[in-house]
A and B are shown apart, each in its own frame.
Chain A
Amino acid sequence: MIKNFNERGFVMAEFAIALPLLILLLGSMGVVIFKIAQVAKTQAAEYTLEADAQEIIERISADARTASEVEIKKAVGDKEIYLVVFRKHTMTVPKYEEVGKYFPADLNERQRYTVTATENHGYYVYADHQDGNAKPESGNPISGGSFFDETIVDELTYDLDEDKKILHISLTLQSQKTKEKLVVNTSVFMPACKEMKGFEDE
């Protein structure tokens, strides 16, 4: 085998060029991978923020639409957070003799949406429900607790227009991961509503 002495210097030259380039390229790839991971994290947080806002607004709107009474109260604390109580009288109470022992469950429903501060995170929206004269059930959270992100309520305000029979809802949610905010405003016409009570300090 004949050794080509002319190629010895070329390997070193190639190495001297390739190594910094390789470091540069690996660094660039690292930056790209890091950026992609960051975008994925932000994206998951944003979707959670949007999904939570949608759940809160739609649950409250659906109950407002069919409520026969609505009452708004200022929640305890410094934040602009209010709680809302909807009542639905779906039918008159029949006499016991007419229906036997089975009373319909939805004679006098009460649905309350409140915001409760949790120990670790912040303000979640809770919904609790009461049928007739039964004691209120313990509330269920309808926001927060997502695997991807924790969202907290920054503001939740209601404004009643008694003449128009309209409830205005304004919600500001904040992501705990990215600290980004989302503001959603909507209104609900309440055709069956006979009694509207504005907010009082609780």
Chain B
Amino acid sequence: MLSVVFLTMITSFAAMIYFRGASKVKNNHATMRFIAIHLANEQFAEVESLAFRGALDNGNLDFLGEEDNRKNFGIFDPKKFDEGKISPVEFEVTTEVENYKTNLKKVSVKVEWIEGGKKYNVEFEKIVRVN
């Protein structure tokens, strides 16, 4: 009987480790962060282009890239995608432009998203030259 109790405890413990760990291993956070970084790069490209054309003003900017790119499924199963069983994560991109020196401006881009009820973000700064 003691061995049965002992085995039950071991199995329960293993199952507990698995079920606690599996959700962490399977979460898409690293992929979403990678996608967010490239979304920020997309925004920087648009902002730099504005600066190059002499049209960059101080203040806050909306996302200037392709609107569809703000939604991403991360790593997804194409079958579930076709069946409409998965929904994309939506990224919020906020941008702030301020004077830095003479013809230079400081651009701050923040990308936020909610995944599994938790809020994540990445934030970058870049100095751009205004023509």
Partner of A25, one of B11, B49, B69, B78: B11
In the bound complex, CA of A50 to CA of B39 (Å):
15
* A49 and B45 contact, CB distance less than 8 A: no
Q: Which of B18, B30, B41, B52 contacts A188 (CB 8 A)?
A: B41
Interface: A140 (CB within 8 A): no
* Stretch of A39-47, A77-85, A113-121 lying at the B interface: A39-47
Contact call A32/B15, Cβ cutoff below 8 A: yes
| B residues 12-67 touching A (CB-CB < 8 Å) | 14-15, 18, 22, 25-26, 30-31, 34-35, 38-39, 41-42, 44-46, 48-49, 52-53, 65-66
Find chain A residues with CB under 8 A from B18 CB.
32, 35-36
Residues of A within 8 A of B52 (CB): 165, 189, 191
B34 to chain A, nearest CB (A): 6
- Say whether, besides A49-B75, A187-B41, A21 and B11 are in contact (CB < 8 Å): no
Q: Is the CB of B41 within 8 A of A186?
A: yes
Residues from 112 to 148 in A contacting B, C-beta threshold 8 Å: none
Contacts of A179 in B (CB 8 A): 77-79
Query: Is B8 close to A, CB under 8 A?
Result: yes
Alpha-carbon distance between A57 and B69 when the two chains are bound, in angstroms: 15
Cβ contact within 8 Å between A25 and B8: yes
Number of A-B contacts (CB under 8 A): 106
A42 to B38, CA, bound (A): 24
A42: chain B residues within 8 A (beta carbon): 26
Interface size on B, residues (CB 8 A): 40
A189 to B25 alpha-carbon distance, docked (Å): 35
Q: How long is the Cα–Cα vector from A49 to B65 in the complex, in angstroms?
A: 25
Most chain-B CB neighbours within 10 Å: which of A43, A50, A189? A189
Does chain B have a CB within 8 A of A22?
yes
Contact of B3 among A18, A29, A175 (CB under 8 A): A18
Q: Inside 8 A of B72's CB, which chain A residues have their CB?
A: 183, 185
Given A43-B25, A187-B46: A181 and B75 within 8 A (CB)?
yes
Bound CA–CA A46/B3 (angstroms): 40
Point out the residues of chain B lying under 8 angstroms from A165, CB to CB.
49, 52
Task: Check A189/B15 contact, CB under 8 A, given A14-B1, A18-B1, A25-B7.
Answer: no
The CA-CA distance from A189 to B65 in the complex, in Å, is 12
Question: CA–CA, A188 to B44, complex, Å?
Answer: 8
Contact A22 B49 (CB under 8 A): no
Q: Which residues of A contact B (CB under 8 A)?
A: 14, 17-18, 21-22, 25, 28-29, 32, 35-36, 39, 42-43, 46-47, 49-50, 53-54, 57, 61, 164-166, 168, 174-175, 178-189, 191
- What 11 additional pairs, Cβ within 8 angstroms, besides A21-B7, A164-B46? A17-B1, A39-B26, A43-B25, A46-B75, A54-B34, A165-B52, A175-B75, A185-B39, A186-B39, A187-B45, A189-B46
Nearest 6 Cβ contacts at the A-B interface: A186-B38, A187-B45, A189-B45, A189-B48, A187-B42, A164-B49
